[in-house]
A and B are shown apart, each in its own frame.
Chain A
Amino acid sequence: MNVLLLLLSLVVLPVAAQTAELAKQTSIKFALNWKAEPEFGGFYAAKLAGSFEKRGLNVEITEGGAGTPVVQMVANSKVPFGIAAADEVVLSQARGTDVVALFAVYQTNPQGIMVHPQRGFKSLGDVFGAPGTLAIQSGAPYTLFLQAKFPGAKVKLVPYAGGIAQFLTDANHSQQCFVTAEPLLAKKKNQPAQSFLIADAGFNPYGTVLIARRRYLEQNPKQARDLVDAIRDGWSDYLRAPEAANAWMVKLNPAMDSETMKESAEVQKPFILAANTPSKELGKMSTVRWTSLVNQLSDLKLIKKKPAVEKLFHNF
């Protein structure tokens, strides 16, 4: 019996070691849901500073674009980690797909509506009460939230195709935006924009959250923890000194130049971390916020049954 155990271990141990080595060397794919922008600056900063490698993780960050189905990709095990919106996590859980949020970049959601200042709007209510067009993602929770908040809207809601082309050429056009990005691009093109935060109107889910399948977390708990720690370090670095990561992202995303990236990185700071909050709290999420989101989505009839809030997120 002892001989058998010895023989077994002689076979199993090397194989296990090999597998561990292999696992360390295969890349861990990390799927973004948009192009490289300061919104993801901390992730790139972590990679640059070697925070992943330091913990034995070979992380590969892949950009996304309009319509990249990150949640499906994660749920399908095509990628282990990805970036999504908080409401997508709730929707998935409500449908029985077990994805979990691990880290939230934005404590205050930067989703907003940008308008031409010359229209003289003082609030989102003004925007919805005036004629013209508003490009906003059809079916998105913030869209439904605003439609519910401002019924009988005069403005015509039209599809949002990305970019600011229509905004630049059409004086009666408003559009959704991340207040940390698109308005800066518009200013650069000599069309300064005024923006309103949807969070101020009462819809404030966490923004840009890291997700993974629960099964994957259960199978790779240390990897997940290490990843989140590395990310936390990365964001800490980025908040302090975004230059290096910005230089890299500019190469990846020609749509944004380095000046705008610098400005965006600056503008987004208060959304990520309130002043005087210690950096070890970066990215952590609360039950209260998630509960509020679940209730709002249920009121908007986006989900039929409310998922258990504890299943939605996990703070490492």
Chain B
Amino acid sequence: MNSDLHPGREHAGAAIRCAALSRSFGGTGLVLDRLSFQVEPGEFVALLGPSGSGKSSLLRLTAGLDNPDSGQLVVEAASGAVLRGFVFQEATLMPWRTVLRNTTLPLELAGWARVDAESRAAEELRRMRLTEFAARYPHELSGGMKMRASVARALTTQPNLLLLDEPFAALDEPTRHGLQMQLREIWLALGMTVLFVTHSVTEAVFLADRIIVLSHRPARLILDHMVVLPERRDAELRTALEYIDQVRRIAAAMPVSGEAS
């Protein structure tokens, strides 16, 4: 549906269909309890929930890094292959490689020639405004720059599904806000499906078009809400009444901490 709203975007997104998805782990017990929902191609969905609610587990299942115990999880793309990008909570760069060589990693693993991989990666670095740091090592970068490099890396394969696991939580507020705006710009330009895990209501409302709220463990769907806010979101929106109103509404639906629902 979103692709109707945004004709001509670069990559069509992948769709996610999830039915009665359950997952439990040895030490912690049942984490996801018969979750069912669907994500349409090109949607920007925030997965919101309290800490430990299993939203990261759900993300990992979507990424194919884990398998459900029962239920169904299908990810498909109209164009054929599903290409995933993942941005972790920590930047997770390889310290022995330069920023450029970190960014080319997904392409190297896919068998791209070095020259091609580097030029493709350089484009993403340009998009993330890291070109002048391409030859530096991760330890020379600030937290925010490392995160931008991580995003650049996730984008090199031109994914149709971008997964992010609370990537900005460890950054200071100005950097976080800057990266949130930049992420939304990237989504608007490229059109892939985005699944963004967070425990911050303000972040979810600012970034997403749709918010899925999960309960405490074992996670069940509490709320599936379409965000009513303008398409282009800038710094001024954070103090606008309509934004605060949406935040209040979502916050009211959030489970109280410690309470199982």
In the complex they form, whether A and B have CB atoms below 8 Å apart is answered with: no
Interface residues of A (CB under 8 A from B): none
Interface residues of B (CB under 8 A from A): none
